[in-house]
């Protein structure tokens, strides 16, 4: 069945370093992915999205890479800051906003 999962449940990085969060998906028909950030006690917040006609998309300090061959995407955060500490989810939006979320990666930024 469809699943979207993550390789690492917790990622600890030093402030100022770059962070890379990975995500694998199983449905080869999936063509639209979204990364969300969820801070403690809050709802998910949209970060960046990517469609399957792209391999890479950049935002402010964030980059998402999509490798359709191995069904893998990653979120790169440049110059990680304490405010980036949160749980990050990838989600498959293959069904009209009825998202399939991965299990999440907790990012901890050490000062």
Partner 1 sequence: NAGVMQNPRHLVRRRGQEARLRCSPMKGHSHVYWYRQLPEEGLKFMVYLQKENIIDESGMPKERFSAEFPKEGPSILRIQQVVRGDSAAYFCASSLKQNTGELFFGEGSRLTVL
As measured in angstroms, the least distance from the Cβ of 79 to partner 1 is 25
SS3 readout for the chain: CCCEECCCCEEEEECCCCEEEEEEECCCCCCEEEEEEECCCCCCEEEEEEECCCCEEECCCEEEEEECCCCEEEEEECCCCHHHCEEEEEEECCCCCCCEECCCEEEEEEC
Binder of partner 1 out of 63, 71, 101, 108 (CB under 8 A):
101
Residue 74 as a binder of partner 1 (CB under 8 A): the answer is no
Q: Which stretch binds partner 1 (CB under 8 A): 11-19, 43-51, 57-65, 68-76?
A: 43-51
Binder of partner 1 out of 45, 58, 67, 81 (CB under 8 A):
45
Residue 59 as a binder of partner 1 (CB under 8 A): the answer is no
Tokens representing 36 are 């969300």
Residue 43 as a binder of partner 1 (CB under 8 A): the answer is yes
Number of residues in the chain: 111
Residues that bind partner 1 (CB under 8 A): 4, 32, 34, 41-46, 49, 89, 91, 93, 96-104
């Amino acid at each position: 069945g469809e699943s979207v999962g993550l390789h690492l449940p917790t990622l600890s990085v030093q402030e100022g370093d770059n962070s890379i969060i990975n995500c694998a998906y199983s449905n080869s028909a999936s063509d639209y992915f979204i990364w969300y950030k969820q801070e403690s006690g809050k709802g998910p917040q949209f970060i960046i999205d990517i469609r399957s006609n792209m391999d890479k998309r950049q935002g402010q300090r964030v980059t998402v890479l999509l490798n359709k061959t191995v069904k893998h995407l990653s979120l790169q955060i440049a110059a990680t800051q304490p405010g980036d500490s949160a749980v990050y989810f990838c989600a498959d939006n293959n069904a009209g906003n009825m998202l399939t979320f991965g299990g999440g990666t907790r990012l901890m930024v050490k000062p």
